Structure 1
Amino acid sequence: MRALLFFASLGFVAAENGLNGWLRYASLPCSGQCRSNLPSSIVILNTTETSPVYVAGTELQNGLKGVYGKRVQVKHNKCKASSSVVVGTVDQYREICGAAKGVPELEEDGFWLDTKGKNVQILGQNERGALYGTFEYLSMLAQGNHSKVAYATNPSAPIRWVNQWDDMDGRIERGYGGPSIFFKDGQVVDDLTRVAEYARLLASIRINAVVINNVNANATLLSPTNLDGVARIADVFRPYGVQVGLSLNFASPQTYGGLSTFDPLDASVVEWWSKITAQVYDRVPDMAGYLVKADSEGQPGPQTYNRTLADAANLFAKEVQPYGGIVMYRAFVYNKLNESIWTDDRANAAVDFFKDLDGEFDDNVVIQIKYGPIDFQVREPPSPLFANLFNTSMAIELQVTQEYLGQQSHLVYVAPIWKTILDTDLRVDHQPSLVRDIVAGKRFNRKLGGSAAVVNVGTNTTWLGSHLSMSNLYAYGRLAWNPADDAQDILQDWIKLTFGLDRKVLDTITRMSMESWPAYEQYSGNLGIQTLTDIIYTHYGPSPASQDNNGWGQWTRADRDSIGMDRTVANGTGFSGQYPDELAAMYENIATTPDNLLLWFHHVGYTHRLHSGKTVIQHFYDEHYSGAETAQTFLTQWESLEGKIDTERYNHMRHFLDYQSGHSILWRDAINTFYHNLSGIPDQAKRVGHHPWRIEAEDMKLEGYKTYTVSPFETASGSVAIVTTSNSTAGTASTKINFPTGTYDLAVNYYDIYGGQSEWKVYLNNREIGQWIGNSEDTFSHTPSIYLDGHSAIRIKFRGVKVHKGDTLKIVGMPNGNEPAPLDYVALLPAGIVD
């Protein structure tokens, strides 16, 4: 931003828990010219306390007091007050204050911000826009920016939604930040304080609607009691300009309503939905609309009655249309497939199901399309469905919650992934056709369009489970408003608002965050093979074999000689032909397919040479080592900020980044070991399977411990770990150290499974040098595991341990509950050795 001021030393605030996100309004020094630039009064043009304009006045009061310690009085309709900030709509200004000179025509939700005159003008096309402009002005002030500006800004698209996958019992599917802020025990919660705080965050990034329940919907949300609760939720969101939407279970007329059918063309079903919709809008007159997931992953849908997806979507569209509502119909529709059939391909599903229905959807139906053809993977091409619907409104579906990308326990700034998709030119009819212009409705001249993101905030004070993961929510809002914005610029605004203006803090977190997606791709799955995580269980740790031999269609088709999906028209599934001609030709030809999507489009031998000159298998080995090495730097970079970030947030993120440094090594070793074992091709650098500084737990002297074969085999060093022989008696593993005398970092790989909290102590010559407890289910955000596997594997490190050759190393593990104090290996690492 313009004229940004940096302060070398700003003093310290009290420890922060993350609840305020980027709206901390942290104190900045201000004197002289700075103080003269601040308004002496706030004039709001609507005195209704539940209006967004009134909320804007309160926000300005709090912001000016928090950032600059200035107490400013709010005045009502006093247009001639000098040195004031005036907030309202353009129409309100004209009615109360006179002509709004210089203000251009604004689109819905747009705003005008002018700081050049004697008064600051913040004028919205509507009250929501006025609130957005207020947050924009406060963002400038909170970054020390007192520039004189006058500009208008309008949203790229009208739909800027978030989807919550909250269940009625309070759990959240793919939620990593605690239980639901909306539901508990089948009902809407009584205390909606956190909902109000969430509404404030969403308004500040210009989100205009929130779907509050899981797309795998529970029909009991439609009970009178729960609809009354939905009304209370809507009342909390409304002053912030955020509308509420609901996910529907397609079979509700039968499972909840007692009808014999849920056929979308049956008159009784239509009548039932009409009555329900009337009940909803009677309670929430401004409800945004419905979100529907049907015929996907076991969810009921119109195919049960041989009806089309358009029949289903239009049923709901006709019901909400009189109220101004819209229907977001998810394109995530697919059937289980047979991997043995070479032409079967889940990536084809979206186009197969929706292309021929183009033009049959009502005008208030928006097809919500995941950014890639599979499922939020670390690298996918854009969904070709974006280039196949010319007469149907579309919205891109993104995922803030890091389901396949480290579940907030790993730092992954995902905005650069989204930008690669949004900025892709699909070249429809050989004309410029950026994905961002297609989903905004601009390319095919549609009135509706935009974006939706799966967010899944919870009751954790960090909202998402990790402080740094909040950059993804902030970035989503910014890109939903203007998808042409730069991912790094967005990130840096977030850093300044969240952690302050110290230049080292800004540069360090920028570097870490911008390196995080490339690093995660390197150590989790590259060349377009997808994220090689466990897709059957938690979607978290490594398990490449789980990708294949199932009906889910996220296949690698890896065997001992070759790997990758053949998606060509000539020899494969035909997927490449779903793109417009120019992209189809590029992806069809292995010579013109980018290396980072090679295995997405082509099935090749492990010795196939990339454009870089490396073989596929050597690229795998090298990239996984490189990614893990980068992940080690995140911790050391963060530690360089000690004293520059408040203690609570510093310690929280240090804990997470320390964990990621160890888990990235687990990923590295698991993937490399798996493909080394499968292909039989050695690593030219002789790293894979070679760990000279490790001591395998099964090779130690065991008392009260026994060996245990881990599955998947690659998630244990040497495929074997040790567990206690009893769930109530401690086990001991000991060994003589045969390494040279010196100072080492002592790393212990163990497993922390759900259902118990074991305790371990490590001794050197009977002198305790460290202890820990297996409580990761309480301290990290990812889904816990009940197995010894890549999800539960974890590494702890004790630094600067002085060791003499011949010393006795001993680890004592005390089991607890179902957790038998599992151990994998110990590594003694000289300075500079990652292992």
Structure 2
Amino acid sequence: MQATWLLAYLTLGFAAAETGLDGWLRYATLPCSTQCRSQLPVNIIALNSTEASPVYVAGSEIQIALNNIYNVNASIALNQCNSSSSVIVGTIEQYRQTCGSTVGIPELDEDGFWLSTRGSKIQILGQNERGALYGAFEYLSMLARGNFSQVAYSTNPSAPLRWVNQWDNMDGSIERGYGGESIFFKNGAIVDDLTRVRQYARLLASVRINTVVVNNVNANATLLTPQNIDGLGRIADVFRPYGVKIGISLNFATPETLGGLDAYDPLNATVVKWWSNMTDQIYQRVPDMAGYLVKADSEGEPGPQVYNRTLAEGANLFARAIKPHGGIVMFRAFVYNQLNESNWEADRAKAAVNFFKPLDGKFDDNVVVQIKYGPIHFQVREPTSPLFANLFKTNIAIELEVTQEYLGQQSHLVYLPPLWKTVLDFDLRVDHKPSLVRDIVTGKRFNRTLGGSAAVVNVGTNNTWLGSHLSMSNLYAYGRLAWDPTADAQGILQDWIQLTFGLDRAVLDTITNMSMQSWPAYESYSGNLGIQTLTDILYTHYGPNPASQDNNGWGQWTRAGPKSIGMDRTIQNGTGYTGQYPEEIASKYENIQSTPDDLLLWFHHVNYTHRLHSGKTVIQHFYDAHYSGAELAQGFLDQWESLRGKIDDERYAHIRHRLDYQTGHSIVWRDAINNFYYNLSRISDTAGRVGHHPWRIEAEDMKLNGYDTYTVSPFETGSGSVAIVTLSNDTVGTATTTLDFPSGTYDLAINYYDLYGGQSNWQVYLNDKKVGQWVGDAEHHLSHTPSIYLDGHSATRIKFRGVKISKGDTLKIVGTPDGDEPAPVDYISVLPEGVVD
């Protein structure tokens, strides 16, 4: 008997090109010797004959993998144990009932599994059916990497909550989504075709994620219409065979906006009854729903404080409605108010502790407070949120972000687990005792049984799921760390590389090196020394705009001025934030001498000339780091190009395009931040690089015809703060110059702006001979949020390599505008071999 629906969509995927749709579950063919074949099962025994059960799915998954990887046509038998050369998969209880003794198999926690490849039978036994499926994927990850080790071990999850949060909107868009439209919603309803949902379920199950929240935390109340509740049931039906439950985000004001009540006060009896009835209706269609996710009283979302109720009273409203059904409430600690920057003690970083510490012990036992890893908002580096050390009687979970909102939006390679590990492995020293964050969130430190992790993921309809093949390493690693937060970030990465790209040693070493360097590189060329994000927080959250942090109420301040920079968060002179940590940690951060350099500007306000532990001044560190970070990013492209022929053409070209883009945009970042702080401080770079570009020709200095100059805003995102644009949207522009460089072979790099709303065409000529051309269509090929302005989001570069130039040659650029994009050009760099610019 075959699980025909599973076979159909899997085998179709494997026949297609390497689009990325299968992620790390490609089951790519490997060679197999006679000895290899002797170690492979030819029979699969599934201890549940229900095709929609995780155990049967596990058996089918093993069957397909054996066929695709090793061309073994294994058959599935049901509920029997006497077959040799077999793999048997089921729960321990199913095994006991069907096969007898379970001597030697240890007791397992919920979702745990036992895997034994010793002897003539392979045992994959779960504490429950979900655990059995996890064990099957574990076994298949070994086979897919050519690993025939004789093993016998059990593994259990570190915590029961291993959630992902989708920020999908009812109209089909995804907030901070960089991989296409929603796989769940379109035009206000659940989509009819749930094929991609099934594929997503398979990926999540393979890394042991047990719950997906399908809609945005900025929730739309129409999710709870009868039609959409039925649609949620269809989604849950698709996830269920993979052991993945669904959860939903709620809008606090739904009783008023959808239910027709005149209030949404959590203590109002009519409101309480409304939520109870609504919850009953949802569970009638989705009887195993995991629970609710709630964002309240934050960034304009309604909440209990409207009625002078506490956040605990708001959370408990939902907890009591859902408790009879066995559900839980994940209540986000992301609550803050806009602040007045002129108040030296104002500090958004203090908000979570201020709001939630007084409520410790007042949340019902099925409420979990979901805490972002840092106190602000998914920055490139933050100190550990002190709230982890301030809730002793409340269930908590850590919130991470796979979606690279402030971290390159999947157009930049940034492997995130090394960042996450700075928090998970941090010791908060509560009561002067070991208090690793990973032990706190899993419940080990304060003896809580309900806890774990959640991550914002935002997969979309793009074949790469997240917008970039390499960004899938972050989703894979999140699942692995949610199961075991002690796992090694590089080891996880290398498992993913082998499953995704094969076993070639050069591929493994190269992608490992690139990925492990990627977060340090991004931190260096974007924002460092704990300055928080320097992205534009008021627009796309993508490109550079350091001025956007300050002079507003959002609280992501740098407090940068002509002489000094940084937030003073000390007790003695600043906001008092350091006092939210336990004594040992507070004293470390209170003292500027014991504060690590990489968090200096988070905790202290200092002069640009302040000397770091490294001996450099703050401003010189900024200059040096931004240059070294951009230089590292240039190397990613060279490393990737060394793999030509070792990666299939489709994925090779896709990744190469992004890495080529990153080389250019890292220079945009480098120059913007260095120019901004040089302009502010008027302190020169001791290496003489900032503002000095001997190989660069400014577009505004060229002879222009049909082009005119344009002042770029923010100023630092244009070289010399000026670019050129066509005189009108139907005027072709030319920019001409005579080259005054020694004759030789150069790379020709052209920085331009690729705006949303048009696809301009550019051509570059040398002595009237075309060198190359390109189109401004990044919105169709890259994953970040596009911009309609000439700014740090739209700024990019194209490079033509190996161009032979003679002194006195004429260089001409012809720009043809399209739509709202006026063929903008910033500058041209004529680069000798080995020169970055």
1:449-471 deviation line (CA, Å, top 9, x unaligned):
00000000000000000000000
> Corresponding residue for 2:547?
545
Secondary structure (helix, strand or coil) at the match of 2:329 reads: strand
> Corresponding residue for 1:7?
none
Secondary structure (helix, strand or coil) at the match of 2:614 reads: coil
Amino acid of the structure 1 residue aligned with 2:725: V
Deviation at 1:254, TM superposition (A): 0.6
> Corresponding residue for 2:606?
604
> Corresponding residue for 2:789?
787
Deviation at 1:15, TM superposition (A): 3.8
Instruction: Find the aligned partners of 1:184 and 1:531 in 2 and give their Cα distance.
Output: 33
Partner of residue 203 from structure 1, selected from 188, 200, 205:
205
> Corresponding residue for 1:679?
681
Partner of residue 73 from structure 1, selected from 72, 75, 79:
75
1:388-447 deviation line (CA, Å, top 9, x unaligned):
000000000000000000000000000100011000000000000000000001100111
Amino acid of the structure 1 residue aligned with 2:828: V
> Corresponding residue for 1:243?
245
Partner of residue 46 from structure 1, selected from 26, 45, 48:
48
Instruction: Find the aligned partners of 1:403 and 1:68 in 2 and give their Cα distance.
Output: 40
Aligned pairs for 1:185-584 (under 5 A) are 185-584=187-586
1:314-336 deviation line (CA, Å, top 9, x unaligned):
00000111111000000000000
Amino acid of the structure 2 residue aligned with 1:492: Q
Instruction: Find the aligned partners of 1:43 and 1:545 in 2 and give their Cα distance.
Output: 63
Secondary structure (helix, strand or coil) at the match of 1:476 reads: helix
Q: Is the 8 A contact 1:695 1:827 kept in 2?
A: yes
Amino acid of the structure 1 residue aligned with 2:788: I
> Corresponding residue for 1:3?
none
1:256-291 deviation line (CA, Å, top 9, x unaligned):
111100000001100110111001000000000000
Instruction: Find the aligned partners of 1:689 and 1:99 in 2 and give their Cα distance.
Output: 76
Instruction: Find the aligned partners of 2:349 and 2:66 in 1 and give their Cα distance.
Output: 51
> Corresponding residue for 2:4?
none
Amino acid of the structure 1 residue aligned with 2:70: Y
Deviation at 1:746, TM superposition (A): 0.2
> Corresponding residue for 1:624?
626
Secondary structure (helix, strand or coil) at the match of 2:76 reads: strand
Residue 837 of structure 2 corresponds to residue 829 of structure 1: no
Instruction: Find the aligned partners of 1:182 and 1:428 in 2 and give their Cα distance.
Output: 42
1:220-275 deviation line (CA, Å, top 9, x unaligned):
00000000000000000000000000000000011111110000000110011011
Amino acid of the structure 1 residue aligned with 2:586: A
Q: Is the 8 A contact 1:15 1:647 kept in 2?
A: no
Q: Is the 8 A contact 1:13 1:646 kept in 2?
A: no
Partner of residue 90 from structure 1, selected from 89, 92, 97:
92
Residue 637 of structure 2 corresponds to residue 648 of structure 1: no
Amino acid of the structure 2 residue aligned with 1:500: G
Deviation at 1:13, TM superposition (A): 9.5
Amino acid of the structure 2 residue aligned with 1:748: I
Instruction: Find the aligned partners of 1:476 and 1:14 in 2 and give their Cα distance.
Output: 27
Residue 594 of structure 2 corresponds to residue 588 of structure 1: no
Deviation at 1:530, TM superposition (A): 1.3
Amino acid of the structure 1 residue aligned with 2:67: K
Amino acid of the structure 1 residue aligned with 2:800: F
> Corresponding residue for 1:706?
708
Q: Which runs of 4+ in 1 moved over 6 A?
A: none
Deviation at 1:337, TM superposition (A): 0.3
> Corresponding residue for 1:797?
799
Instruction: Find the aligned partners of 1:103 and 1:349 in 2 and give their Cα distance.
Output: 48
> Corresponding residue for 2:698?
696
Partner of residue 636 from structure 2, selected from 629, 634, 637:
634
Amino acid of the structure 2 residue aligned with 1:497: L
Instruction: Find the aligned partners of 1:337 and 1:211 in 2 and give their Cα distance.
Output: 31
> Corresponding residue for 1:183?
185
Instruction: Find the aligned partners of 2:731 and 2:623 in 1 and give their Cα distance.
Output: 41
Secondary structure (helix, strand or coil) at the match of 2:439 reads: helix
Instruction: Find the aligned partners of 1:648 and 1:582 in 2 and give their Cα distance.
Output: 52
Instruction: Find the aligned partners of 1:125 and 1:743 in 2 and give their Cα distance.
Output: 66
Instruction: Find the aligned partners of 1:567 and 1:629 in 2 and give their Cα distance.
Output: 33
> Corresponding residue for 1:9?
none
Instruction: Find the aligned partners of 2:745 and 2:668 in 1 and give their Cα distance.
Output: 24
Instruction: Find the aligned partners of 1:71 and 1:714 in 2 and give their Cα distance.
Output: 62
Q: Is the 8 A contact 1:14 1:646 kept in 2?
A: no
Instruction: Find the aligned partners of 1:101 and 1:519 in 2 and give their Cα distance.
Output: 52
> Corresponding residue for 2:6?
none
1:747-775 deviation line (CA, Å, top 9, x unaligned):
00000000000000000011011000000
Partner of residue 104 from structure 1, selected from 89, 103, 106:
106
Gaps of 5+ in 2: 1-13
Q: Is the 8 A contact 1:609 1:615 kept in 2?
A: yes
Instruction: Find the aligned partners of 1:282 and 1:244 in 2 and give their Cα distance.
Output: 14
Give TM-score, length-normalised by structure 2.
0.98
Secondary structure (helix, strand or coil) at the match of 1:656 reads: helix
Instruction: Find the aligned partners of 1:538 and 1:298 in 2 and give their Cα distance.
Output: 18
> Corresponding residue for 2:730?
728
Instruction: Find the aligned partners of 2:614 and 2:600 in 1 and give their Cα distance.
Output: 12
Gaps of 5+ in 1: 1-11
Q: Is the 8 A contact 1:528 1:596 kept in 2?
A: yes
Q: Is the 8 A contact 1:727 1:820 kept in 2?
A: yes
Amino acid of the structure 2 residue aligned with 1:93: Y
Give TM-score, length-normalised by structure 1.
0.98
Instruction: Find the aligned partners of 2:16 and 2:611 in 1 and give their Cα distance.
Output: 55
Secondary structure (helix, strand or coil) at the match of 2:27 reads: coil
Instruction: Find the aligned partners of 1:91 and 1:157 in 2 and give their Cα distance.
Output: 22
Q: Is the 8 A contact 1:521 1:531 kept in 2?
A: no
Secondary structure (helix, strand or coil) at the match of 1:239 reads: helix
Aligned pairs for 1:708-787 (under 5 A) are 708-787=710-789
Amino acid of the structure 2 residue aligned with 1:708: Y
Residues 185 and 717 (structure 1 numbering): CA distance in 2 closer, same or farther, change over 3 Å?
same
Instruction: Find the aligned partners of 1:563 and 1:593 in 2 and give their Cα distance.
Output: 16
Instruction: Find the aligned partners of 1:293 and 1:611 in 2 and give their Cα distance.
Output: 41
Secondary structure (helix, strand or coil) at the match of 2:255 reads: helix
Deviation at 1:14, TM superposition (A): 7.0
Secondary structure (helix, strand or coil) at the match of 1:802 reads: strand
Secondary structure (helix, strand or coil) at the match of 2:358 reads: helix
Instruction: Find the aligned partners of 1:505 and 1:731 in 2 and give their Cα distance.
Output: 44
Instruction: Find the aligned partners of 1:618 and 1:825 in 2 and give their Cα distance.
Output: 26
Percent identity over the alignment? 76
Aligned-residue RMSD, C-alpha: 0.7
Deviation at 1:117, TM superposition (A): 1.9
Secondary structure (helix, strand or coil) at the match of 1:526 reads: coil
1:539-593 deviation line (CA, Å, top 9, x unaligned):
0000000010000000000000000000000000010010000000000000000
Amino acid of the structure 2 residue aligned with 1:158: P
Deviation at 1:531, TM superposition (A): 2.1
Deviation at 1:32, TM superposition (A): 1.8
Instruction: Find the aligned partners of 2:328 and 2:95 in 1 and give their Cα distance.
Output: 31
Amino acid of the structure 2 residue aligned with 1:585: S
